[in-house]
Amino acid sequence: MTQTDLLLMDGDCGLCTHTAVFLHPRLADKTSLRFLAIESEEGQSLIATFPEKFQQADSVYLIRNGKSYMRSAASIRTLLYLKWYYRMFYPLLWLFPLPLRNICYRIVAKYRYKIFKQPAVCIYPNLLP
């Protein structure tokens, strides 16, 4: 892969932090995906280039091969960066309809700050290449 894809997540979210810590050691190729905080300058400038509906969403974003995805579509596509035994869940999760996946995503997103403790500092710049 010539260009590193980006996963933009909330740097102040405990769930996002735990997810990044879980994903990073399980990446099949450590240089294939870079994590970036949405609040960062680079993150904000990238989000500004997205379509209007993407800019208004408070969500996780994945930029894969130059195309942007959000919510459950971004989350599920992150499986493609992991080792084979995680990637095998990718086709199974696509069996669930998008509206149902996004409802589940929004419920988790609504309660993430109550369930997961907010990290003291954003780990993304130090975690990944």
pLDDT tier at 4, thresholds 50, 70, 90: confident
**What strands, in cross-sheet order, belong to the sheet with 67-70?**
33-37, 5-9, 61-64, 67-70
What is the spatial distance between Cα 107 and Cα 44, in angstroms, rounded to a whole number? 24
Q: Render pLDDT for 21-43 as a digit per residue (tens, 0 to 9).
A: 899 999 999 888 999 888 888 88
Phi-psi group of 67: left, alpha or beta (phi > 0 → left; psi -120 to 50 → alpha; rest → beta): beta
Q: Which residue carries 């209007």 as its tokens?
A: 52
**114 pLDDT more than 90:** no
Once rounded to an integer, what is the mean pLDDT over residues 100-106? 93
* Percent of all residues in the chain with a pLDDT value above 70, rounded to a whole number: 93
**79 vs 121, higher pLDDT:** 79
Q: How far is CA 3 from CA 20, 32, 33, in A?
A: 20, 8, 9
- Write down the pLDDT at residue 31: 86
Three-state DSSP class for residue 126:
helix
